[in-house]
Structure 1
Amino acid sequence: MSEPFNKYLQRFIEFLRVEKHYSDYTVQFYRYDIEEFFKFTSEQSIEDLKEIEYLDARLYLTTLHDQQLSRATIARRVSSMRSFFRFLSREKVITENPFALVQQAKGGKKLPSFFYEEEMEELFAVCEGEDPLDIRNRAILELLYATGIRVSECTGIEMKHIDFDFSVLLIKGKGNKERYVPFGSFALEAIERYIATARKFLMKPTDHHSFLFVNHRGKPLTSRGIRHILTTLIEKASLTRKIHPHMLRHTFATHLLNNGADLRTVQELLGHDHLSSTQVYTHVTKEHLRKTYLTHHPRA
């Protein structure tokens, strides 16, 4: 990567972190996508960002298709480049965004994976022990399923964010946006039990932080730690599928809609800026209804 290109990349990364408040995970994807584009420009002997035109952007899109990348990956790459060049335009580095008019053909959206209610019961069953880590894991599972919060949001919960009287959480989401999320009696009982027993056991006398969930050393639990916990629960439950961090979030939304919740409420609970982000779950519920009909109707 040439020095001028790298300089602008670093400025853009700083912009994402400081002004947009994007997570390290998101910034990492932007960096990777832009560095991949810089490899392309190097192969095309493009030495100045000002030289890049619409036709170069179209050629890059063709290159991505030739690599047989998924539609979602290509769409993300194009979106990253559009944002990067929009930033360069704002900074007066370039006059026109070469990716502004590049459109990736939209394919069918992949429906989000979720757990059926019976599978959730199996997951809860494997963390019913009296061990402090079992009690903690039960509280994590109950809370993620009860609220639909992101794993990163779960790790950021502090004791002061919990209103036990009204069973409400203050959640700090993407871009430091705050929202209140209610949770039910099962999650409340699991959290209160965890705080009263397991958390005290796991915390060391020298630990003075106020984060709700801690690891076996009493330190704040990370997103990676929660992903490991969920994977372990899946293995214990002998469920024949892999888990990813968003599956419990998908399950939360799907089960709400299956049981009659309205889309706007689910949007607010999930912290989605746009209703279109929530509407994908209506496709899941329709598919669920179709399968139920085909399975149980005598003349289906």
Structure 2
Amino acid sequence: MKWNDILNDYEHYLKIERGLSENSIKNYSLDIQKLINFLTLSNSTENPKKIEKETLQQFVYELPKTVNPRSQARIISGLKGFFNYLVFEDYRDDNPMDLIESPKIGRKLPDTLSTVEINELIAAIDLSKPEGERNRAILETLYGCGLRVSELINLKLSDLYFDEDFIRVTGKGNKQRFVPISKVNKKYIDLYRKEVRIHRKIEVGHEDFLFLNRRGKQLTRAMIFTIIKHLAEAIGLQKNISPHTFRHSFATHLLENGADLRAIQQMLGHESITTTEVYMHVNRTHLAKVLNEFHPRN
């Protein structure tokens, strides 16, 4: 059994059986490829069926030299899943990763933007340029609907249910959800699609994508990162932000203004409420305000 052959089978399993996104499958494959590269450099001939726990321990021992603890934990978790698959398919009788522990890591609180900073970023957009209206609609949608960047670039005209004040979002594992959209957000999307997008020559196969580049094609994730980076530089923002920062801000601001955690979970598309809670890092001033306002003794 060759590593690359079983890795191809595993990728197919992740896509068909688990329903994972292309990005997730790619990340799992890259982590397993790290093990394959380690074995190659070590001149090891061990195959997936026969690889020993000691070899895997040596691989894990080398990880801190190249990756941080969070990445180490992800790689170990991914390998455990890979060997569980081999057991499930009767290629092995045991999972050699079972007794190998991940490094202890704390939860990293996400960075957020204040409403003032978000307004400054949007105000910095040059609306005199052809892409100005598009970029404003992009930021309004990232923040107004709490989307992941992959969800944003895959948003389609056929996903807009403006009469019902919802958009249909395709999230991780191709799972769909409906997210409410505000009047302000609808206004800027309509300005873009009716005043700018309508004049764009669109490439075949990209007609339904909402946000397009100058060549009439679907935007890439990298392009969204670049847009946000340039705007942050334009206002002198001293924070390292990304498209996901707007998603964090969306969730945090909703919670600070009294939104229900379950409702936020549904809008973000999280399977577990535990995942949603990591976004909810409210400051102490807000917590004190909540106590003073709602505790019966106050």
TM-score calculated relative to the size of structure 2: 0.88
Partner SS state of residue 112, structure 1: coil
Change (3 A) 1:206 1:172: closer
Report if aligned partners of 1:132, 1:199 keep a CA contact under 8 Å in 2: no
CA contact (8 A) 1:132 1:201 kept: no
Structure 1 gaps, min length 5: 293-300
SS in 2 for 1:132: coil
Which residue pairs with 1:45 in the alignment?
44
Q: Which residue of 2 aligns with 1:295?
A: none
Preserved contact between residue 121 and residue 231 of structure 2 (Cα < 8 Å): yes
Aligned positions of 1:118-267 closer than 5 A: 118-127=116-125, 129-204=127-202, 209-267=207-265
Q: Aligned match of 2:24 in 26, 29, 34?
A: 26
TM-score calculated relative to the size of structure 1: 0.87
SS in 1 for 2:131: helix
Report the aligned-residue RMSD. Answer: 2.5
In structure 1, what is the Cα distance between the partners aligned to 2:74 and 2:20? 15
CA contact (8 A) 1:214 1:221 kept: yes
Q: Residue 170 of structure 1: SS of its match in structure 2?
A: strand
1:281/1:291 CA distance change after superposition, 3 Å: farther
Q: 1:68-120 deviations in whole A, cap 9, x for unaligned?
A: 63221111110110111111112211111111333314321111111111110
Which whole-Å CA distance do the structure 1 matches of 2:13 and 2:205 have between them? Answer: 34
1:268 matched residue in structure 2? 266
- Write out per-residue CA displacement over residues 108-155 of structure 1, whole angstroms, 9 at most, x where no aligned residue: 111111111111010110126243311010111101100111111111
Q: Output the amino acid matched with 1:51.
A: K
Deviation track 1:20-57 (CA, whole Å, cap 9, x = no partner) reads: 33333222221221111123334273523233344443
Which residue, 77, 98, 109 being the options, matches 1:79?
77
Amino acid across the alignment from 1:218: G
1:180 aligned counterpart, secondary structure? strand
Range moving further from structure 2, 217-226 or 177-186: 217-226
* Helix, strand or coil at the partner of 2:168: strand
Tell me, yes or no, if the aligned pair for 1:89 and 1:96 is still in contact at 8 Å.
Answer: yes
Identity %: 35
Looking at structure 2, the residues matched to 230 and 203 of structure 1 have their Cα atoms a distance apart, in angstroms, of 25
CA shift digits 1:155-191 (9 cap, x unpaired): 1111111111122001111111110000112111101
Do 2:265 and 2:276's aligned partners in 1 also have CA atoms closer than 8 Å?
yes
1:17 to partner: Cα distance:
2.9
Counterpart amino acid of residue 142 in structure 1:
E
- Corresponding letter in the other structure for 1:64: L
Q: Which of the numbers 104, 107, 131 marks the counterpart of 1:106?
A: 104
What is the alpha-carbon distance in structure 1 between the residues aligned to residue 241 and residue 221 of structure 2? 14
Counterpart of 1:93 in structure 2 is: 91
Distance 1:187 1:70 in 2: 38
Which 5+ residue runs of structure 2 have no aligned equivalent?
290-298
Q: Deviations over 1:239-288 (max 9, x none)?
A: 12332231111111111112111211111110011111111123x21467
The aligned counterpart of 2:294 is: none
What is the CA distance between 1:194 and its match in structure 2? 0.9
Structure-1 residue corresponding to 2:292: none
- Are 1:145 and 1:248, in contact at CA under 8 Å, matched by a contact in 2? yes
Which residue pairs with 1:58 in the alignment? 57
Contact 2:212 2:219 in 1 (8 A): yes
Aligned length: 289
Q: Does the CA contact (< 8 Å) of 1:139 and 1:190 recur in 2?
A: yes
